[in-house]
Amino acid sequence: MIPSAFDFYAPRTLDEAIALLAEHGDEAKVLAGGQSLIPAMRFRLAAPAVLVDINGIGGLDGLRETNGHLAIGALTREAALEEYTFIRERYPLLADAAHVIADPLVRNRATVGGNLAHADPANDHPAVMLAYGAELAAHGPRGARTIPIDDFFTGMFSTSLEPDELLTEIRIPRPGPGSGGAYLKVERKVGDYAISAVAVQLTMDGPTIRTIRIALTNVSPTPIRAEEAERILTGQTLTDATLEAAGQAAAAACDPSADLRGSIEYKRDLTRVLVKRAVRRAAERATK
């Protein structure tokens, strides 16, 4: 189908974009890569009166690593994440995810910021950033602020961003010594959303898990952390018993719905298996 009619703006600066968002409020949608928004408009699931295309704004894309964190411009294309050796080496969780988001054609256009701001529980970056404990930088008429990822997702397709705020940057804390991560996704075919996927970021102290964050994709109305599973594993060594307990805790924490991707039982069991595998893989990477 052809989308409904809309007004189109292509601001050249962040301030112009924010002014447009402030002017149009809920009527406006931000167009970044357009890989979720355009299909939604074509299916008439979304009919924004105004599109604010931010692709012409300089400085919103690119990767920058400081001592403290990795900063990812919100407009960075997913495909860019696959290109850097340092991502594979120091951010394996992010690297894992970069290869399984949608398909290569979508990754050429889709952006990291869009994947987060769309707040689809089926998207992959929400769980990844939850596991990293990332911070999000947003700009609005009242200036800049940072939002901890744990406070970002407020519901299905909704975030704590104000209608006149633009997500500009994602900051991932730079993993220290003994860190490892992994993202495991089961999809029915390349390009489909996950039946279930699990993101794990941890730090090891010898054989012991010192810190761990686990987050789940597409098994709840919002992206969620598996906090009980984290608690079970923190301070423990990796045994079959602790892994199984953590897997079961995560399976219990999720709230999937039955759909064409699978039954509730299957999604829970898959989550249990993926948590066990992802924790083990992250731990292995941590000790390499």
- Beta carbon of residue 222, minimum distance to other proteins (angstroms, whole number): 21
- CB-based burial, 195-227: b 16+ in 10 Å, e otherwise: bbbbbbbbbbeeeebebbbbbbbbbbebbbbbe
Nearer to other proteins, 71 or 102 (CB): 102
Q: How far is the CB of 273 from other proteins (least distance, A)?
A: 5
Shortest approach of other proteins to residue 39 CB, angstroms?
Answer: 8
Residues that bind other proteins (CB under 8 A): 1, 103-104, 186, 188-192, 195, 204, 206-207, 237-240, 243-244, 247-248, 251, 260, 262-263, 265-266, 269-270, 272-274, 276-277, 280-281, 283-284, 286-288
Q: Where are the alpha helices (DSSP H) in the chain?
A: 14-24, 37-42, 78-81, 85-90, 92-100, 104-109, 112-117, 125-132, 227-233, 240-253, 264-286
Which of 77, 276 has the CB closer to other proteins?
Answer: 276
Smallest gap from Cβ 208 to other proteins, in A, equals: 9
Q: Least distance from C-beta 262 to other proteins, angstroms? A: 5
Q: Which is nearer to other proteins, 31 or 194 (CB)?
A: 194
**Cα gap 203→237, rounded to integer Å:** 12
The answer for residues whose C-beta is within 8 angstroms of residue 224's C-beta and 6 or more apart is 130, 215, 216, 253, 254
286 three-class SS: helix
Judged by beta carbon, residue 125 or residue 272, the one nearer other proteins is: 272
